[in-house]
Amino acid sequence: MYANKIILAPMVRIGTLPTRLLALDYGADLVYTEEIIDWKLLRSKRRENEVLGTVDYIDLTDGTVVFRTCSAEKSRVILQIGTSDPDRASKVAKLVENDVAGIDINMGCPKEFSLKGGMGAALLYKPEKAEDILRKVISSVKCPVTCKIRVLESLDETLQLCKRFESCGIAAIAVHGRTKFERQQHSNRIEFLQMISKSLSIPVIANGGSKEIETFEDILSFKEKTKCSSVMIARAAEWNVSVFSPYGKKPLDDMIKAYLKYAVDYDNSPSNTKYCIQNMLRELQDTEKGKKFLETQTLQQICDLWDMQDYYEATHEKQQNEGLIGRRDVCPVNYQPPCNEIDIVEMEISFLRSLYPRDPDLPKSKLLIWTKSQGYKIPLYETKQVDKLFQSTVTVNGNKYRSSFWEKNKRWAEQGAALVCLCSVGVLDSKKLKRHGILR
C-alpha cells in the first residue's frame, strides 16, 4: 500500500477534507490528515452526515468537526494521531479504523505544543514509550499502522531507531530528513534517507524536500535522490496542490476556485477555509484582492471574491433544504434550557467582526448610543457559558433580547445579543444582515 507512492503529508489545519480531495484529484496516491490529538477524538461522537455524504467526528463541547471524511477518499486517507499514551492511541485507532485506510503515529512534530505534551518528536527520545504505542495500536486494529519521524543527530542512532520501530510490525515509516532542532533553512539530510531506505525492508517515505520542489518532475527527482520507496509532499502542495499532476501546475486562481468548491460542498469551516487559502496566496495577500480576502469571515464572503456567489447560494440553499446540521445549529450538549422563560425576543444571528471596522460601529456601541438617545438605562448583559460556548441576553427598557447562535467567546455573544435588539427596534436593517449571511 505504501510502496512507490506520492503522498500528501500531514499538515496542521491544511490537511482537512477539501485539500485532501483536491490532492487526490491532481494525482496524489495517498493523503494524510492533519495531526489530530487523541483526546479530541476520544471526546467526539461519530455521526453519519447524510446531507453531505460524510462521516463526521463532532466535538460535543462546542460542535466543531474534529475529523470529516467521505467515501471518495476512504481507501486512501491515513489518519495521523498525536499521542503520548498507548491506551489512548489504541482507543482512537479502534474508533476510526473502519473509516480510514490506515493509522499513523506522529513522532516528528517539533512544535512546542507537541513536545510539552510528550507527543511528536518527543517520542524519538523515549523509544520505549514509542514502541509501546506502536505495538498497542498494531495489536488493536486490522488496518496498517505507520509512524512519521525526524532523523536524530547521529545516523547510527537514527538507523537503530528505525529498525526498532520496524520490528514492531509497522507497514511503513515516513522520515523527515531534519532533526527536531532544524527548520526549513537547514538542508535535508539526504544521505540519512538513503541509508534508512537501504537498511529497512518496509517502504520508507521521504519527507522534507519541499524547499527544492516546484514541479512534478522535482518530486520524481527527490524520490530518485533519496532512493526511498515513496515521497511525501508538504509545503509545495500547501501552496499549489496541482504540484501532484504530471501535466503541470494549474494557475493559482483555478486552484483556489477548485478548493472553494469542495469547501462549499462539504460545509468546511470558514476559518479553516480562509487559513488554507491564505497559505496558497502567500505574498499575494498584499494585493488589493488579497487585502479584501483578509477581511472575510464567511464562506459566502470568500466565494463572492472569486465570483462563486451563485454556486455558494445554490449549494447552501440545497443543503439547508435537506436538513444540514451545521455550526449555526449547535447547542451545547450540557445545556438545560430554563422552564420559565417568557417574553424574550430571540433571533438566530451571529457576530462578524469584519463588518464593523471601527469600534463606534460595533453593535454594543450602537445600542448604547441608541438607548441614551431614548432616555433608557444603559443595556444590561447577562452571559452564560456552557462547555466551551457562550450565549448572552441583553435587557433594554425592561425587554430581553438574545441570539440563539452560541458563540465561542463572551464578547461576541454580547455583540450578538445587541444585534438582536437593534434589529428588533428597527435601528438595523435585517435584510442587509441576511445578505451577509449572519441572520437566518
User: Which active-site residues does the annotation give?
Assistant: 109
Helix H or strand E segment including 233: strand 230-233
What is the pairing mode between strands 380-386 and 172-176? unpaired
| Whole-angstrom distance, CA of residue 176 vs CA of residue 206 | 6
Strands (E) in 96-227, as ranges, are 102-107, 145-150, 172-176, 204-207
| Whole-angstrom distance, CA of residue 405 vs CA of residue 417 | 10
| Whole-angstrom distance, CA of residue 175 vs CA of residue 173 | 6
1 CB-near residues (< 8 Å, 6+ apart):
30, 101, 102, 144, 171, 172
Task: Say if residues 192 and 173 touch (Cβ distance below 8 Å).
Answer: no
What is the pairing mode between strands 77-82 and 30-32? parallel
Residue count of the chain, please give it.
440
Taking CA atoms, 78 is separated from 7, 54, 258, in Å, by 10, 16, 22
